[in-house]
Every structure is written in C-alpha cells, then in structure tokens.
C-alpha cells in the first residue's frame, strides 16, 4: 500500500447544498498532508467524506487501498483514526479511563493498542492529566487527550481536524512535536486540517488549499512556504 488516502474527482453534498467540487487529493504512506482554508472551505467535509459520514458523495475515495464504502465504523476498522474538531472526550471518565476504552475498542477491532508508557512518551502532558476527569480539562488538554486516544488504536491513517484551534502556544508546541513524531514511529499517514501555518509548515510535506469547496492550490511545503502570494490570496494571512 503506497497510498493511504486518495480522492478522485469527489463532490460532496449536504442535502441539496454542494460542499466539495471535484476534490482531488493523495496522502502517501507515511506522508503528512495539510489541508488549509478559511472557515467553511470544506476541510471537515473532506474528512467526513473519507469516513462516509453525514455527507452524500460522488466520485472515488480510497482509504488504505480500498473504496471508502460502508459505515464509518467499518472504514475506521481498517486502521483509520479520526479526531474531529469537537474532540468528544467522555467528560465523566478520567483520562486513564478514556484511554482504556480506546485500548479496549482497538483490541475489539483486532488492532494491537499502543501501551500507555509510549503514549506518555509521545505526549508528556498526559502524565499530569491521567487521573483527571474529562470535564476538568482545558480545551488544549482535551485536544491532547483526543489525539492520545486516537494514537492508542495505532491507526495507519490519522485524520486530524484543526487540532490547534484556540489553544495556548505551549500546548500547540507539544502537539506539534507529538504529531511530527507519528510517521517515523508508527509509519502513520496523516491528513491535517489546519489554519495555523507555522504548525503546518513544521509537520507537512504537502499543502493543499481549499476555497469554497474547491482545491485552489497544491504544492510541497517548501513551495508553499516560498510563495507568500498563496497565503495572501486564499488565506488572507501575510506570513507564517
């Protein structure tokens, strides 16, 4: 398997409203691809289309070498971890219990979970959170737990939806180190929706820019960094 995720000419719809138009993308094995775009550009919809949830699609989507058909649970079983932007930590459970559930669910899907020690090595912030309840965590701490929970299941493809949104810089740095570590450590492929350009440029090899559901730019991270006009045109941001 050399391609973790492929979209060929994908359109996506919410009822009669079209949210993606002719989307093309490829995430190679072990590669990190960033999806940039303003609010409402279609980043979340791209992830939902890959998971076959909430949207109607046309065109072709392959996830880990097979068509993305069936329920999102079935697609996840192939080895896909999805961290939606609302995080969805269980508030009444402790962080440890949240992670234990993820381990149990990974075993039920015949996946060998990542041990706690390794998760704590990847995300050291988890050490002081482990006995806290989900409801007692800040937004950044919840995001760290949501990512840790996805890592536990040892996904081959990780879909990360705006992990740094609204977070303090110190947590963003920790998440950056953690996400950067995953391809080398586990051979993971990553699709990362983001608006934080510094985060993207430190992690991704490829950059895609979406505007109102259309792919308007695709290039290597180095090409993207070297061309500030892309940022000005599509993202209304002058510098990283």
Q: Decide: is 37 part of the binding site for ligand ATP (CB under 6 A).
A: yes
**Among the residue ranges 32-40, 100-108, 137-145, 166-174, the one whose residues contact ligand ATP (CB under 6 A):** 32-40
**Among the residue ranges 34-42, 66-74, 98-106, 119-127, the one whose residues contact ligand ATP (CB under 6 A):** 34-42
Angle at 147 between CA 181 and CA 218, to 5 degrees: 65
Please identify, using beta-carbon distances, which residue of 9 and 14 lies nearer to ligand ATP: 14
Considering only residues 44, 164, 176, 206, which one is a binding residue for ligand ATP as defined by CB under 6 A? 44
User: By rule CB under 6 A, what string of x and - marks binding of each residue 45-84 to ligand ATP?
Assistant: x--------x------------------------------
Considering only residues 2, 16, 39, 92, which one is a binding residue for ligand ATP as defined by CB under 6 A? 39
Q: What is the rounded distance in angstroms from the CA atom of residue 208 to the CA atom of residue 220?
A: 9
Going 239 to 26 to 191 to 20, the CA torsion angle's sign is positive
**Among the residue ranges 37-45, 95-103, 143-151, 166-174, the one whose residues contact ligand ATP (CB under 6 A):** 37-45
**Among the residue ranges 14-22, 93-101, 198-206, 225-233, the one whose residues contact ligand ATP (CB under 6 A):** 14-22
Q: How many residues bind ligand ATP (CB under 6 A)?
A: 12
Going 103 to 171 to 88 to 163, the CA torsion angle's sign is negative
110: which DSSP letter?
T
Considering only residues 16, 17, 110, 236, which one is a binding residue for ligand ATP as defined by CB under 6 A? 17
Q: Decide: is 163 part of the binding site for ligand ATP (CB under 6 A).
A: no
Q: Decide: is 87 part of the binding site for ligand ATP (CB under 6 A).
A: no
Sheet with 157-161: strands ordered across? 80-83, 157-161, 189-194, 32-36, 206-211, 214-220
Q: Decide: is 88 part of the binding site for ligand ATP (CB under 6 A).
A: no
172: which DSSP letter?
H
Q: Decide: is 19 part of the binding site for ligand ATP (CB under 6 A).
A: yes
Q: Which of 40, 54, 73 is nearest to 12 (CA)?
A: 54
3-state secondary structure of 167: coil
Which parts of the chain are beta strand (E)?
Answer: 3-14, 17-28, 32-36, 56-63, 66-67, 80-83, 157-161, 189-194, 206-211, 214-220
User: By rule CB under 6 A, what string of x and - marks binding of each residue 182-221 to ligand ATP?
Assistant: ----------------------------------------
133: which DSSP letter?
B
State the residues that interact with ligand ATP by CB under 6 A. Answer: 14, 17, 19, 37, 39-45, 54
């Amino acid at each position: 398997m050399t391609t973790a995720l492929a979209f060929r000419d994908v359109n996506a719809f919410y009822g009669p409203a079209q949210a993606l138009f002719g989307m093309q993308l490829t995430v190679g094995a072990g590669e990190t691809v960033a999806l940039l775009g303003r609010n409402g550009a279609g980043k979340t919809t791209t992830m939902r289309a890959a998971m076959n949830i909430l949207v109607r699609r046309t065109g072709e989507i392959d996830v880990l070498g097979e068509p993305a058909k069936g329920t999102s649970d079935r697609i996840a079983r192939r080895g896909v971890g999805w961290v939606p932007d609302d995080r969805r930590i269980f508030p009444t459970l402790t962080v440890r219990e949240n992670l234990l559930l993820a381990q149990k669910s990974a075993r039920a899907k015949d996946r060998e979970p990542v041990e706690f020690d390794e998760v704590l090595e990847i995300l050291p912030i988890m050490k002081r959170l482990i006995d806290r309840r989900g409801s007692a965590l800040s937004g950044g701490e919840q995001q760290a737990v949501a990512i840790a929970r996805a890592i536990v299941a040892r996904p081959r493809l990780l879909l990360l939806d705006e992990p740094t949104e609204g977070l303090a810089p110190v947590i963003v740095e920790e998440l950056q180190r953690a996400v950067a570590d995953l391809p080398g450590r586990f051979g993971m492929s990553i699709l990362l929706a983001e608006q934080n350009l510094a985060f993207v440029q430190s992690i991704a090899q490829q950059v895609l820019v979406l505007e109102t559901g259309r792919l308007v730019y695709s290039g290597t991270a180095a090409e993207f960094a070297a061309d500030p006009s892309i940022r000005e045109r599509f993202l209304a941001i002058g510098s990283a």
